[in-house]
Structure 1
Amino acid sequence: MRARSRGPKFLNLWQIRFPIGAVASIGHRISGVLLLLCLPPLALSLDRSLHSEAEFEALRELVSAPSRALLLTVVVWAAAHHLLAGLRHLLMDVGAGSRLAQARISAWAVILAAAIIAAAAALRWLT
């Protein structure tokens, strides 16, 4: 019998194939962190936009640049994915869709729906 090496192992995360449920779950965590980081600037922007019509138009002009529209698209993706994945987890907690085939389908549905919502928001801002 061959002795196992106790030395450090190199894990290439790009070669690991995660199950789709894990991808949806990791996306849920990432989207939660993004939303937490974006909450203060979004709250300040809302406050600023409510001061006057001129402030609102200034903010609208600020976010109309393509690079900022891309940033807002990421925020929309984060909100959509976090909401949909959270609902998925809540439903699975009560036993709905907890079988493997159903869980895979719901994970794909969350990922695709969040991407479609973000793409629709991007098209809305860029046109």
Structure 2
Amino acid sequence: MELSEQNVNKQRPVYLDLNQIQFPATAIASILHRVAGVVMFGALAVLLWLLATSLQSEAGFNYVVDLFDGFLFKLILWAILIAFSYHLCAGIRHLMMDMGYFEDSMESGNKSAQVSMAVTAVMAVIAGIWLW
């Protein structure tokens, strides 16, 4: 296939301003689902370290218990719980889409994405109340 001179000389944008693009809720939900998966993968190392430390000895257990009293640790744990809850909600949404639900229109896909985000927000508030 030959490139015509007209196609080569088209004016192309120099940069893409992402602030001007409005992503639909389905795109945001998909991106957040992937981000939550990456956070969960990283959180696995932290949680395994906590488990190993707490099982080493009584002093290790007491060290982990003392960590739970710190603000920064509670914030990290809250972020991990939010990632888990969002990944769960979005995963259930994807499973329902695989079964044929929410596929009839873009509107139903957007609504299901908004519902999964709203359920995650409620779960985040509950997790925050539980932690603090």
TM-score, L = length of structure 2: 0.81
| Structure with more contact order per residue of length (Cα contacts < 8 Å, sep ≥ 6) | 1
Gaps of 5+ in 2: 1-8
- In the TM superposition, what whole-angstrom CA distance separates every residue of 1:22-71 from its partner, at most 9, and x where no partner exists? 11110000000111111112112122223455533421221322222111
* Higher Cα Rg, which structure: 2
The answer on 1:35 being equivalent to 2:40 is yes
Gaps of 5+ in 1: none
Match of 1:82 among 74, 84, 87: 87
**2:19 aligned partner, one-letter code:** W
Change (3 A) 1:101 1:39: same
Q: State the match for 1:119 in structure 2.
A: 125
Alignment of 1:6-25 (within 5 A): 6=12, 8-25=13-30
TM-score, L = length of structure 1: 0.83
Q: State the match for 2:110 in structure 1.
A: 104
4+ long deviations beyond 6 Å: none
Deviation, 1:116, is: 1.8
Over the residues paired in the alignment, what is the CA RMSD in angstroms? 1.9
How many aligned positions are there?
123
Deviation, 1:107, is: 0.5
